[in-house]
């Protein structure tokens, strides 16, 4: 026993439960047992793995209200946000993999050049890494733990879960839900602790690390994993841009901006943290945003849009960005109003890229708005960021909007919608630049939890191959001629004619089918020579 952690309710500051911190020895033992169980799990058919995990869907639905209550207490979310941002994405991803995992992970035949590899076939198979360590954040602890964990399990891995210390009741809940399934003992295990426990987990050498969190912590995870080395998938922060053109449906765009910027009190990696609006409608749109923000409700009453901040430590960052913007000339729709953990949303305008609020991840309910003059100017502003996670483009001209979106340096984009594209289970999700690398969700995400193995099977009965020893000057000339025949310039019969002597050395190497082609080529050359 190396200490304990207490879980505190984000709703009323009450202590919920105390959890023992996992020791190094416990973590090492857990990894060892997970590797033993995982080796057997990986050998089971993917359809069987999916069948074992599919009942989780009905388990979640049966306990949906209890799950909502636990997540609300741990995060401070309002209950509708729990359904939309935590529960629905898990169910959608599980249903997608039920339908598609076997196809996605099936061995893939690869076309084999018959002249180079006669009587041979080739394929690519996917193999699980072994033990996948899932290190998850506090802002969406249910979704951002279960989604990568399910992906890891379906692809054949065992799972080790390290929750944020702010989300331990959600981790306990997840283990409770999984215990309702007929999974092998030890296939999924949880370790508990602070950052040092995460370091111990990586030092215990899992076979893959999937980390969701901030950039600085992501760098630390990557550096730690590199010492062993262990492959990592990093889903880091964002500074997502929303580009609004004058011809857009401004009413729809303004409502979307409210949701995109203030959902979960801005504690979303794909929150709209920069809003760029075409100069011709800039003042009008800012006015619409100010009016809309004033009508966003805060609290856990019967009607409430925004819950509380999961951790008050984040308020220091939010306040610093707000004050820096005002000091440099920005205007705000209201002062910062923090009531307990509830922070009222604020729109800022007349912002510039010299302000911290346009450069650093805020992770709170602030929406800075800046004007642009042209399509290219909008693209340049959006790309002027160290982050590249998600973005949205707003215009009734769909061709224009998609043209702009395809120029943005991001891993994901949406036209005339916001955040919801991340909930599409068939689309891979991940970022570029400081937003991380690697993907999850969709077919690409499932394959990211495996590595590819290339296989070649020869059915030749020959006792020799042209590339085998002994080498000689004549063999050099034969191989050189064959390379010229395969890749040189000129028509086919020209390449055959000039390399005829060299190609004779490969007659016995060809399959019966290829020998017939060879015979036909000889006839073709003969006709050309006498024609």
Beta bridge partners of 126: 452
Bridge partner list, 454 = 124
The CA distance from 507 to 514, in Å, is 9
Length of the chain equals 531
| Local confidence pLDDT in tens for the 531 residues of the chain | 479 999 999 999 999 999 999 999 999 999 999 999 999 999 999 999 999 999 999 999 999 999 999 999 999 999 999 999 999 999 999 999 999 999 999 999 999 988 788 889 999 999 999 999 999 999 999 999 999 999 999 999 999 999 999 999 999 999 999 999 999 999 999 999 999 999 999 999 999 999 999 999 999 999 999 999 999 999 999 999 999 999 999 999 999 999 999 999 999 999 999 999 999 999 999 999 999 999 999 999 989 999 999 999 999 999 999 999 999 999 999 999 999 999 999 999 999 999 999 999 999 999 999 999 999 999 999 999 999 999 999 999 999 999 999 999 999 999 999 999 999 999 999 999 999 999 999 999 999 999 999 999 999 888 888 889 999 999 999 999 999 999 999 998 899 889 988 888 887 776 545 555 666 666 666 566 565
Which member of 26, 86, 172, 235 is catalytic?
235
- pTM for the complete prediction? 0.94
User: SS3 helix, strand, coil % of the chain, rounded to 5?
Assistant: 45, 20, 35
Residue 247 annotated in active site:
no
Domains with residue ranges and CATH for the chain: 36-236+444-453 (3.40.605.10), 240-422 (3.40.309.10), 473-530 (no CATH)
Distance, CA of 66 to chain centre: 28
Please give the full DSSP string across 300-359, using - where no structure is assigned.
SSSS-SB---S-THHHHHHHHHHHHHHHTT-EESS---EETTEE--EEEES--TTSGGGT
Q: Please tell me the distance from the alpha carbon of residue 228 to that of residue 232, in angstroms, as a whole number.
A: 12
CB 499 within 8 A of CB 486: no
């Amino acid at each position: 026993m190396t200490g304990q952690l207490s879980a505190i309710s984000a709703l009323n500051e009450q202590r919920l439960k105390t959890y023992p911190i996992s020791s190094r020895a416990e973590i090492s033992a857990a990894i060892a047992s997970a590797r033993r169980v995982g080796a057997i799990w990986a050998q089971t058919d993917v359809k069987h793995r999916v069948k074992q995990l599919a009942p989780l869907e009905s388990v979640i639905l049966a306990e949906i209200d209890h799950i909502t209550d636990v997540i609300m207490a741990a995060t401070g979310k309002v209950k509708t946000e729990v359904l939309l941002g935590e529960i629905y994405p898990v169910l959608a991803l599980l249903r997608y993999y039920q339908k598609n995992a076997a196809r996605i992970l099936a061995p893939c035949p690869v076309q084999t050049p018959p002249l180079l590899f006669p009587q041979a076939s080739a394929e690519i198979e996917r193999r699980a890494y072994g033990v996948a360590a899932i290190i998850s954040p506090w802002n969406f602890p249910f979704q951002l733990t279960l989604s990568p964990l399910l992906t890891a399990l379906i692809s054949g891995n065992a799972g080790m879960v390290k929750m944020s210390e702010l989300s331990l009741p959600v981790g306990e809940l997840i283990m409770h839900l999984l215990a309702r399934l007929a999974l092998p003992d030890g296939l999924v295990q949880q370790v508990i602790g602070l950052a040092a426990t995460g370091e111990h987990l990586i030092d215990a050498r899992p076979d893959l690390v999937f980390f969701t969190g901030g950039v600085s912590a992501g760098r630390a995870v990557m550096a730690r994993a590199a010492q062993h080395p262990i492959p990592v998938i990093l889903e880091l922060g964002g500074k997502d841009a929303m580009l609004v053109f004058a011809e857009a449906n401004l009413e729809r765009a303004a409502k979307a901006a409210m949701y995109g910027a203030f959902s979960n009190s801005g504690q979303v990696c794909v929150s709209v943290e920069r809003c760029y609006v075409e100069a011709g409608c800039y003042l009008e749109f800012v006015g619409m945003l100010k009016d809309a923000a004033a009508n966003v409700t805060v609290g856990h009453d019967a009607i409430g849009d925004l819950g509380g901040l999961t951790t008050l430590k984040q308020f220091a960052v939010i306040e610093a960005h707000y004050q820096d913007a005002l000091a440099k000339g920005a205007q705000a729709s209201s002062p910062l109003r923090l009531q307990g953990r509830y922070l009222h949303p604020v729109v800022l305008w007349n912002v510039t890229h010299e302000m911290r609020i346009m450069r650093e991840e805020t992770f709170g309910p602030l929406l800075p708005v800046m004007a642009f003059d042209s399509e290219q100017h909008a693209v340049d502003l959006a790309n002027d960021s160290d982050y590249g996670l998600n973005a949205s483009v707003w215009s009734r001209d769909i061709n224009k909007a998609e043209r702009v979106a395809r120029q943005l340096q991001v891993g994901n984009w949406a036209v005339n919608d916001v955040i919801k594209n991340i909930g599409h289970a068939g689309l891979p999700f991940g970022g570029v630049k400081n937003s991380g690398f690697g993907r999850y969700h969709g077919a690409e995400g499932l394959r990211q939890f495996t590595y590819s193995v290339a296989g070649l099977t020869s059915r030749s009965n020959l006792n020799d191959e042209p590339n085998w020893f002994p080498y000689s000057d004549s063999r050099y000339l034969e191989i050189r001629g064959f390379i010229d025949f395969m890749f040189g310039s000129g028509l086919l019969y020209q390449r055959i004619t000039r390399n005829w002597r060299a190609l004779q050395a490969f007659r016995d190497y060809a399959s019966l089918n290829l020998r017939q082609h060879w015979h036909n080529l000889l006839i073709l050359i003969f006709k050309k020579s006498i024609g």
